[in-house]
Amino acid sequence: MTKKVYEALNWASSFLTEHKRDANAGEILLQHVLNMSRSELLANLHLQLTEQQQEQWVEKVRKHAQGVPIQHMIGTEDFYGKTFRVNPHVLIPRPETEELVWHALNGIKQYFPKNEPLTMADIGTGSGIIAITMKLEQPDLTVYAVDLSEKALETAKANGESLQADVNWLHGDLLQPLIEAGIQLDILLSNPPYIPLTDKVELSTVVVDHEPHLALFGGEDGLDLYRRFCEQLPQVLKDRAIVGFEVGVGQGEAVQQLLQQAFSQASVRIEYDINGKDRMVFLQM
């Protein structure tokens, strides 16, 4: 006997809570299976599911209980008001990264007030969220996006096409493709891998078993990528430039020090997210 929507949601809520997963996941997955918005779903609580709908949905709920991210099953995640495709080759967009973009857009307005032509790069672009969002919000920017993973770049390119964002996609390691092409930057943004390898055991299976390790881990202390950035940045930054990094909670001061050592004349500040955590470091030359 198939369930009505409200019965199905009640079952999913208790089943997922038992498995220490988000109780609301059942609702998101049911919206996807029924192709309904949240308000449509709530207006149809007494709708009887067909056998096929119920089977499809129960399978997804069980998979999420085992640790498969919801975003991998529905194939998308929203970021800065746009919908991006995601898959196991890219990091699932996080709300903290929206704050990095917001601060960067504000910084550009304050630091480059003359509407001059500016060049920006997003390093370790993943699904392309930073590069694409910056281009859509600031259409006069020339935007480059770099990733070491070809599979990630394929995903980013597909997102760029579907959202009609004109981004230059480059395959390579950190700043190497920009250095080789002689590209000079006004703005550099990055959400690099920053999780210390020692934290691997504490991570949720949803993250550690299903998201790309290349995009998660930053060496023993999580700071390897920032050290490499500090070596390469002088080769690509113009005399007047902004750099914005996302960092792990508690890494703000360490990353601030690395940047200050590399650029003694620059101003380097830590920005806190809406939860009061040190999640971003910005440098202004």
Helix (H) or strand (E) holding 237: strand 237-246
Spatial distance between the Cα atoms of 128 and 177, rounded to a whole number of angstroms: 17
The reply to whether 127 sits in an annotated binding site is yes
Residue 191 is assigned to a ligand binding site: yes
SS (HEC) of 133-202:
HHHHHCCCCEEEEEECCHHHHHHHHHHHHHCCCCCEEEECCCCHHHHHHCCCEEEEEECCCCECHHHHHH
Alpha-carbon distance of 55 to 2, in angstroms, equals 9
What number of CA atoms fall less than 13 Å from residue 9's CA on the CB side? Answer: 16
Per the annotation, does 147 bind a ligand? yes
Is 126 labelled a binding residue? yes
Is 69 marked within a binding site? no
Alpha helix segments (H runs only) across 38-166: 38-43, 51-66, 70-74, 95-111, 129-137, 150-162
129 exposed, middle or buried (CB, 10 Å; 0-12, 13-18, 19+)? buried
**Phi then psi for 216, rounded to 5 degrees?**
-105, -50
Please check if 80 is assigned to a binding site: no
User: Taking Cα atoms as reference points, which of 26, 35, 40 lies closest to residue 70?
Assistant: 26
Q: Output the six-digit token pair for 165.
A: 């964002």
Give the three-class secondary structure for 278: strand
193 is in an annotated binding site: yes
| Residue set of the binding site for S-adenosyl-L-methionine | 124-128, 147, 191
| Residue set of the binding site for substrate | 191-194
| Residue set of the binding site | 124-128, 147, 191-194
